[in-house]
Amino acid sequence: MNILIIGSGPNAIEARSWDRSPFDRIVVINNAWRVRDDWDDMIFPYDFADQNKPARIEPHQRFITEADFVPAQNSMGGFVYAGATMAFTAGYWCLAAFSPQLIGFAGCNMYYPDSGDTHFYGTGTPDPMRDDISLTSLKACSYRMMAFAGQQGCNLVSLSSGETNLSIPQIDHGEVATYQPEQKLNRHHLKEALKMEQKLDYHTPDGRYWENLERYDRASLEALDQIWMKVFDSDITPDMKPGSAS
């Protein structure tokens, strides 16, 4: 199974004209249901406003809420380790729900220029850039998700070109059917990272980690990031600058 995840980045609109045939399911995040109407699953957080949801959906379509994605995320370590922003949440939910062979991300670059549109619908809130204990490194979060996918035999790719903080291989959407990964998982560092996660024990069964921030030590999580960033034998994408353009 191949899955297309569409986010709200400015280049998400490119996915509107893509041939659907390489993908078995289309998952849209938040407002991305507006990009194309043949989506299957719409995933959004608990505070996504009702007025921003579609007024009606087709029989084959469904909403994915925290009742669905919190258990999925917890099965793979939880939000503090995975990164609490919807691109990562959608990716882990797809891994848990479908065990796919490939997940392609469009409009999920998590890169916000200093001027111009930040989202396909104009200007929005750059959620991945917020000061959050679960987002100490978007690169480490990307590598972690890719490592978990790799253990399931699933490839992760970004189908959006340009500057990105989603540190997974970028390819053209026409290459999905023939894509072969070049990165090799370093199982020593994978084991080391998972062991440290287990030792820290930063699990949040209800997903609401922000209600107990005193539990978490930023320095420990930043040290964990450094291990995750060694989990592949070759670098995938360069580090972006911090701040609004990251």
Q: What are the residue boundaries of the structural domains of the chain, listed by start?
A: 2-228
With residue 33 as reference, give the H or E element that holds it: none
Long-range Cβ contacts of 206-211 (<8 Å, 24+ apart): 206/70, 207/66, 207/70, 207/73, 207/74, 207/78, 207/79, 209/78, 209/79, 209/80, 209/84, 209/133, 209/134, 210/132, 210/133
- The answer to whether the pTM exceeds 0.85 is yes
2-228: CATH, from 3.30.460, 3.30.2420, 3.90.1480, 1.10.860: 3.90.1480
Please give the pLDDT value at position 233: 83
Task: For 173-185, write each residue's pLDDT tens digit.
Answer: 999 999 998 889 9
Please give the pLDDT value at position 245: 30
Per the prediction, the chain carries an average pLDDT of 89
Tokens read off for 179: 């894509």
Task: Over range 53-69, report the average pLDDT.
Answer: 96
pLDDT over 90 (residue 129): no
Long-range Cβ contacts of 204-211 (<8 Å, 24+ apart): 204/74, 204/78, 204/79, 204/80, 205/74, 206/70, 207/66, 207/70, 207/73, 207/74, 207/78, 207/79, 209/78, 209/79, 209/80, 209/84, 209/133, 209/134, 210/132, 210/133
Please give the pLDDT value at position 163: 85
